[in-house]
Amino acid sequence: MIKLTLLGKQGREFYLNPHVIESIEIGGADLIIHLLSGKSFMVAEDIQTVQKRIVTYRKEIGCFKNEE
C-alpha cells in the first residue's frame, strides 16, 4: 500500500493499493488517481512522488525487481 494525501480533506492521509490504479491524470497542479472501480481521488502529491512510492511498494512485495 502507498500513503497518499487527499486534497480538500484537511490533509487526510490514506493508503491505496497501487494495483487498483487504472490511470493517473495530471491537470495543472492537480493529480487525480482513477481506480479500476470507477472511483477517483485528487491527491496532494506530485506525479514523481506517486511513481516512486509505487515502485518502492512493488519492490518491497517482490513484484518486478527490475523496476527503477
pLDDT band at 8 (very low <50, low <70, confident <90, very high): confident
- Give me the pLDDT at residue 10, please: 80
**CA-based nearest residue to 22, from 36, 5, 2, 7:** 36
**Dihedral of alpha carbons 40, 44, 47, 51, sign:** negative
**What is the value of pTM for the model shown?**
0.85
pLDDT band at 37 (very low <50, low <70, confident <90, very high): very high
pLDDT tens digits, 44-68:
999 999 999 999 999 888 876 565 5
- Give me the pLDDT at residue 28, please: 84
On the CB side of 27, how many CA atoms lie within 13 Å of its CA?
8
Please name the residue ranges forming H helices in the chain: 47-60
C-alpha grid cell for residue 59?
519492490
